[in-house]
Structure 1
């Protein structure tokens, strides 16, 4: 990509961008075998697709709708991103599909005690769930504090840590 005058992102090394004439920009993001190509210069996007097609086997899936757990919707007012499907899948997985929403995702001044109190639970499952909640907090900053609290117990989770219900 650098040979085509694209700059690699500093914070995300899988992102490449190119500033074009008249303030236009083209952005390429790579994740394993998925690529997002966006920008406001349609001719550069076509050229980049042609170039990538000579280097790799490509399949153009059209406008982005769902990628890495994020729903992308376009309207006349702009683009919105949500993780609705991701949340529904997570709730279904943990058996909380019928949970009720709450204004605060965690009880005020909740004390979970030490990580030696209570019955041990499957650490791998707990870590996976907390990891999914960490990922969710990218689009739901309102749960970030609660997720940081429960992530403190990832090395030795107990039943009470899993019973902490973060409401969506």
Structure 2
């Protein structure tokens, strides 16, 4: 009888450990998907050239178009609606928030050292670019781990030529 109790206890421990491992792997996959989406969104935003300034020979990012492009790329890559809420087919369960969206244009001197102490982020931009910081929460499936949320950071520079 005591062996049966031992086997049941060991199965419960094994199942808990296995569930924790699956949860950790899912968290890493979600983080990588989020990082790729942020990088793509920042890159898309940085490519929104201000055509009137470019006609005068000035490389500048159109901030309004950049903001729209970044939001669209995040929506499409993370399957979100216009408000950042996950769609039914999304792997996410909680709202994705854009914490920082900043366009660094030709009004700054390059190379530009960007620093955001609130989110402990630094980057050096050699030409006009975009800084994007997004908060995303891990969609826990088994509730074995504590809730995790990430502040995912990305930058991209305007590529003209």
- TM-score where L is the length of structure 1: 0.23
- Relative contact order, higher structure (CA 8 A, sep 6+): 2
- TM-score where L is the length of structure 2: 0.23
**Greater helix share, structure number:** 2
